[in-house]
Copies of this chain bind each other. A is one copy, B any other.
C-alpha cells in the first residue's frame, strides 16, 4: 500500500486526483485549509474509512505545517508521494498592470511557490523512508517562460518560481533518493479553470494518476504535460 499526501484536496484537481488515486492500493492524507467546509472530501473519507484521512493544513502557516507533519508521523513511518497541489489564482491586484499591489503579488507567490517548497522540506524525513518517493508539483502551462502574453503577473511568476523550486529539489543532494517533478494538469473545468476549460477533471486526473504511477528517478527535474509528454521551461 502506498502512502500519499496531497494538499488542496477539497476541490478542483486536488479532489479529482484524490478520487483517482484511490483506485490504487493507497492511503491518502487529504489536506485542506477548512475541513469543516470540505463536504465532498468528507463524504469520500466516510466512504473509504482509513484510506482517506482528512487533515487541516494551511500551507502558508508554518505552525500548521508542523502540526500536520506530527499528525502524519503519528500514523505512518514513511510517505511515498507528496503532491503539492494547493494554490491560488490571485485577484486583480495580483494580475493587472496598473492595479498591482506588492502585498497581493507576494501573497500569490508565497502560496504557490514558497509554501510547496517549505511543505516539501517538512515532509523530507518521511519521504526519505518511502518507496520510490516522489514529490509532484502541480504547476501550470502559464509557468512556462516560452509563453508570451500579458497579465496574470503573480500567478505566472509564482509558477515559474515553483518550477524552479522543483528543479533545485530534483538536483539537491540533500534530497537524494526523492524524485521531484513538475506537472501541468492542463486547462481543467474547475473553480479556477472555469466552465469553458478544455478538459474534464476526470480526464486530467486520470492521466495524472497514470503519469504519477510510472514516475522513476530518471524523471527527476522534468516538466510534464498531464498526458506524460514533456514541456519546455
Task: Quote the shortest CB–CB distance from A101 to chain B (angstroms).
Answer: 8
For A146, give the chain B residue with the smallest CB separation: B233
> With a CB–CB cut-off of 8 A, which chain B residues contact A121?
97-98, 100
Copies of this chain present in the complex amount to: 2
For A97, give the chain B residue with the smallest CB separation: B174
Task: Quote the shortest CB–CB distance from A85 to chain B (angstroms).
Answer: 18
> With a CB–CB cut-off of 8 A, which chain B residues contact A143?
164
Count of interface residues, chain A, beta-carbon cutoff 8 Å: 50
Is A114 in the interface zone, CB < 8 Å from B? yes
Is A168 in the interface zone, CB < 8 Å from B? yes
Task: Quote the shortest CB–CB distance from A158 to chain B (angstroms).
Answer: 7
Residues of A near any B CB (own CB < 8 A): 60, 62, 96-98, 100, 102, 105-106, 109-110, 113-115, 117-118, 121, 124, 143, 145-153, 156-165, 167-175, 221, 232-233
